[in-house]
Structure 1
Amino acid sequence: MQRFGTLSFGHYGPLGRGRELTAGDMLHQAVDLAQGMDDLGVNGTYFRVHHFARQQSSPMPLLAAIAARTRNIEVGTGVIDMRYENPLYLAEEAAALDLLSDGRLALGVSRGSPETVVRGYEAFGYTGAQDPRGADLAREHFDLFLRAIEGEGLADGDPSSPFGGAVGRQRVEPHSPGLRSRVWWGAGNRDTAAWAGRMGVNLMSSTLLTEADGREFDLLQADQIDGFRAAWREAGHPGTPRVSVSRSIFPITTTEDALYFGRAGEGGGIGMIDGFQATFGKTYAAAPDVLVEQLQQDAAIAAADTLMLTIPSQLGVEFNLRVVESFAKHVAPALGWTPNSDGPVQGAAI
């Protein structure tokens, strides 16, 4: 494990006892937490994107605010649902953010996960999907997005334009030359991971896989990572792609930690999600020395270069920063991590 960061769903809403976390609170707290993690040398802060829900839904303004208030930390998504995206507008936004952050963007995208509404992307104006979950629509949008950030001309210039006539096919602007190497695909199984390898993008793998063959989750995920890297090599892409895995990990160092997470350890197993049989990863919650022993046995963490810690964002900045700091001081070094001081390591150039 070379790098680690946090993955937040950005939940907000009622907290009980008359308290409420508003959308504004969630956004401001995300910036404050990222600042604290940047000071600790944590490598990244990433946000899950959900629509029609009290969660993070429009990450670009938030990531821009974080980039403006930090020095080294990678800002990213895990993941943006491509079914809902205008590919060219996303290309413009992502390039602008990548330039503003001096190459600190890690843009994770995918088909997305189960929603709180029925085919919500159609309400956004994106219709015509033949797949009941919109996977074909997501792939179409992703293909156009990649062409745009690669600088392909996508519209004919108008020589008679009063704003400076252009000749030939024109690309969207701004263009960030290194952005292509900082795009990730969130793969939910081995087939999509291999597809991502052939496409030449980095891999994000979450806390579940829509596959089940009787093996433990970490072994199944490590197999997924191996397949991704093999597909990358077979496609002839240069360099080494990045791979991240997500885990729920809570070092228990105080009575409060034990109160919240003392019974949260283990879990995982087989279940159903979005109509698929799935294998779920377990939650790690224990004293730091016990966590080190457990995590050193996790085959997928050993195979990946980046670990994303899911955090309970509703518990506030102080609590989450203490959890992250405890992991950084007492657990991460034993897994091979050293604090970030020079900004994020860039993905392989395509």
Structure 2
Amino acid sequence: MGTDLKKRIGFLSFGHYGTGRGSRTATAGDSLHQAIDLAVAAEELGIDGAFFRVHHFARQQASPFPLMAAIAARTSRIEIGTGVIDMRYENPLYMAEQAAATDLISDGRLQLGVSRGSPEPALNGAADFGYHPEDGETVADMARRHTARFRAAIAGAGVAQPGEHAYMGGDRLLRIEPQSPGLARRIWWGAGSRATAVWAARQGMNLMSSTLLTEDTGVPFDQLQAEQIQLFRDEWAAAGHGFTPRVSVSRSVIPVVDDVDRMYFGLRSQADSHDQVGTIDGFVSRFGKSYVGDPAALASELAADAAVQAADTVMLTVPNQLGVEYNVKMLENIAKHIAPAIGWSPNR
């Protein structure tokens, strides 16, 4: 089952930087400035979204709000978001202030993906940031607790006792400022299984699904993910939240059109052309295939991808270390020759 929402595409950058062979992003500064430039160029192409993965203790994007605010100041239409923020590491109230301010700068274009997060390089990085589970909690429970407090804060709930210097007098709890109306409906949960998608629907969060699921039933990845999406939508309808949710999936889509593409990705068209099953975080997991090759063939394959058809938003992972020029060319080829086959049209 599909959706009545407009089909959107966006790019998803992991923000890698380093001096490895062929890298065009040697430093963190390179990665940040190029991310801004790529978002500006993507908007000019009519791409709908610029999304960024958040990792800590790694040469990747770690603090997304300054980057998203800078993009917001340079653009006017493109959605700006995360895929995803690891809520184990977050101070919910400070994050609520940053998110609201960034959303106001963007005039309501923020789309925040949050989650329990994926494995990080640090042994216990959240503890190093000062966050520890309460008695009886797991780190996943802590991430959900942080998320609930964050969502309450951006929705305007009072969160602090007033003191003698409170502005308004009285004894009402103080809320965080600024507030950005509408942001509360633009929070997405990064769900890695069918069960977590159902949980997200109960909570009233949009669904963000990646290129892997931490379960495997033996069916192709796109079908398993489409089942996850349908379970989410069924649970959402039962919950009666009062607005239509959005659903995104991520795909690695690389059209090979010239010798430069063949040099970088020619071998991947064979190696990554099917699903893989492995283990992550102790779970047997199914990883979706990459779409690499001739644009016409990729258009047909994506049009037949059950989860791509079921979602309203497709996030396209980009090889950010190859630089802005290469990634703009790649996005332009996708926009012209592939995305129309899944029902997309430019946002202009």
TM-score bracket for this pair, using the shorter chain length:
over 0.9
| Structure 1 residue 288, shift from structure 2 partner | 1.1
Contact kept? 2:7, 2:312, Cα under 8 Å? yes
Q: Report how far residue 167 of structure 1 moved.
A: 3.6
User: Aligned match of 1:281 in 274, 282, 288?
Assistant: 288
1:14 touches 1:20 (CA, 8 Å); kept in 2?
yes
2:340 aligns with: 333
**Equivalence map 1:1-350=2 (5 Å):** 2-16=7-21, 21-128=26-133, 134-158=139-163, 160-161=164-165, 165=169, 167-265=171-269, 266-341=273-348
Cross-structure match for 1:347: none
Q: Deviations over 1:290-327 (max 9, x none)?
A: 01111111000000000000010000000000000100
Q: Which amino acid aligns with 1:118?
A: L
Could you tell me how far apart the structure 2 residues matched to 1:131 and 1:291 are?
48
Q: 1:70-121 CA distances to partner (integer Å, 9 max, x unpaired)?
A: 1100000000000000001111111111111001000000000011111110
Please give the TM-score of this superposition, normalised by the length of structure 2.
0.94
Q: Which amino acid aligns with 2:229?
A: I
Higher mean C-alpha displacement, 259-268 vs 297-306: 259-268
> How far 1:14 moved relative to its partner?
1.6
Deviation at 1:128, TM superposition (A): 2.5
Distance 2:24 2:38 in 1: 20
CA spacing shift, 1:129–1:49, aligned 2, 3 Å: farther
Q: How far apart in 2 are the matches of 1:29 and 1:18?
A: 12
Q: Does structure 2 retain, via aligned residues, the 8 Å contact 1:119–1:133?
A: no
- SS in structure 2 of the partner of residue 234 of structure 1: helix
> Across the two proteins, how many residue pairs are aligned to each other?
340
SS of the aligned residue for 1:227 comes to helix
Q: What is the CA distance between 1:15 and its match in structure 2?
A: 2.0
Q: Which runs of 4+ in 1 moved over 6 A?
A: 17-20, 130-133
Corresponding residue number in structure 2 for 1:345: none
Give the CA RMSD over aligned residues.
1.7
CA distance in 2, matches of 1:97, 1:287: 39
Are residues 14 and 105 of structure 1, via their aligned partners in 2, closer, same or farther at CA, if it must alter by over 3 Å? same
Shift of 1:154: 1.1
Indicate if the aligned counterparts of 2:23 and 2:321 stay in contact, CA closer than 8 A. Answer: no
Give the direction of change, closer, same or farther, for the CA distance of 1:18–1:149 in structure 2 (3 Å limit).
closer
1:293 match: secondary structure? helix
2:26 is aligned with what amino acid?
L
Q: Is the 8 A contact 1:264 1:284 kept in 2?
A: no
Distance 2:115 2:264 in 1: 32
Give the corresponding residue for 1:348. none
SS of 1:155's partner is coil
Deviations 1:111-137 (A, max 9, x none): 000111111100000013578971011
- CA deviations over 1:252-293 (Å, ceiling 9, x no partner): 111111221122131432111111110000000111110111
Alignment partner of 2:268: what SS?
coil
Question: CA 1:123/1:289 → structure 2, altered by over 3 Å: closer, same or farther?
Answer: same
Structure 1: gaps spanning 5 or more residues: 342-350
Counterpart CA distance in 2 for 1:59 and 1:231 is 31
TM score, norm. by length of structure 1: 0.94
How many percent of aligned residue pairs carry the same amino acid? 58
